[in-house]
Structure 1
Amino acid sequence: MARTIPGFQQQRVEVAEGVALSVAVAGAGSPVVLLHGFPQTHLMWRHVAADLAADHTVICPDLRGYGASDKPADTDGQAYSKRTMAADVVAVARALGHDRFALVGHDRGGLVAIRAGLDFPDVVTHLGALDILPMLDSWEVLHGTSAAVAFHLYLMAQPPGLPEAMISASADAFFGYFLDIWANDPDAIPADVRAEYLDACRAAVPSIVADYRASATVDLEHDAADRDAGRKLGMPVAVLQQDWGPGFSEAAVARWSAWASDLDHTFVSAGHFMAEEAPAEVLKAVRGLLAR
């Protein structure tokens, strides 16, 4: 199996017919599920998870399509919807004996966490999201030249074929680019961890693209339906985001407030990979969330 967090036991958990996730588990106490982002695996939580495991059962899956988890073909445009991926997370927790749990997600994992909170409000007790806006809002705020920072969203939204071919032809350069430009502190991701991420992504190009493509198609349909119906996240919600300067702060808080009734929104000085760059800040926020 791929490398896991020291002190955690790695196992495979079936979440649907023919689909199993690789899951790292440690600790005892009330359960907390941690979902990784792009272009990473559950290993991104190595600092935060180890601390939380002192007094919680900590569950760190590789998302469907990522890391050591299964990568089913996306034959119907639904295999990597956040609704499907959220159901995976609930299935993992239940298989491990937990009917309710707190959920924290970074980046892509944050989108899965949001969907889980909306689809399973009686299951998700607390919800944390690191450096992400709900996908519907992300597309709405991207416009003009400022959208260049998110060129990968547009590339992977294209029909199957071209994005997969382009990325596969230069996978290490593509995925490594984001590891470089999104980190304020490059030393936060040491060489051996970086190599682990690149190995995992190189083997998962079609499923990673399918995940992103879903966020330009079916995920937007699900988000729009919830917004039109006035559905909100009713559990305590904590959001940590980079401070991208004047204007963004107010807009980000307003957009998150439209989705969350009980919101604690904080800006941090770390870069995008904040769980690795500033684990103490992330731990403080997560423990504060769990205490609410």
Structure 2
Amino acid sequence: MSSRAYTEWRPALAPGRQVACLWTRRNAGGAEYGQLVVPDGCVDLVWSEAGLEVVGPDNAPRSVPVRSGAELAGLRLRPGAGGLLLGEVPVRELCDRQVPLAELAGAATAERLGERLARAPGLREAAAVLDAFAASLVPGRPPDRVVERAVAALGRAQGARVPELAAELGLSERQLRRRVTDAVGYGPKTLHAVLRFQRALAFARADRDGAVAGDGAVAGERERERGACADRCAAGYGAGAGSGLAEVAVRAGYADQAHLTREVRRWAGVPPTVLLGRTARPGGAVGQDSGAAS
């Protein structure tokens, strides 16, 4: 059995429209490995031996070392919901950054939360403390309904043209771009590309499991490094057998398989067969994750 374990589940207290999931990661005595983290437009609050940190959206893939014995608990916010943690700080300022919670919420708040986390008997209980903390912030930081509508429109397979979307939301194109960039960290065009990439990964996993895939970037129960694509990779995504990828490309909203391949290389740094192959080998050196690994 692999010493690595990643689990996520829906929040019990914080609203699902803002919090996508709670998660834990453990490397119980195994060798240090590099965790591939790919862009998903989300903001994470992570608790580890380094303390409490807020991880902003990524613009490119990165490999994060996970040391032997590492234990982490986290909370992942949906694209556009970063204001729940950041308040008035634009999410764009945290792109490709990982900063202490104390810099955003104040030293006293971070210290009190850290003390509660330290008393938690286990990782899942620690994640529940993060859930309660996020829920406590909701009354003073309601979601931005305009941003929610923009993210939903841009998350559709065919996306939405900026001029039409701006008019629908009662904004100028410039106002829409600024508002989305401040709230998500990406402009509308980039956000659409990231959500489409995540949707393709979700379809690939769902095909293997016989499930119906939702939007991969905001789904609350994504399966990252548990080999969810193993059978599909072997049957349809291997070298010389591109029918599976072609189908996923069409369903996810890409022009064709070549378009999907280019975009996967852009967001994951590797071709689809390699990315899915990594997902299919949970015991290998590198897994695939769509969020912060810290």
TM-score (structure 2 length as normaliser): 0.27
TM-score, normalised on structure 1? 0.27
Which structure would you say has the larger Rg?
2
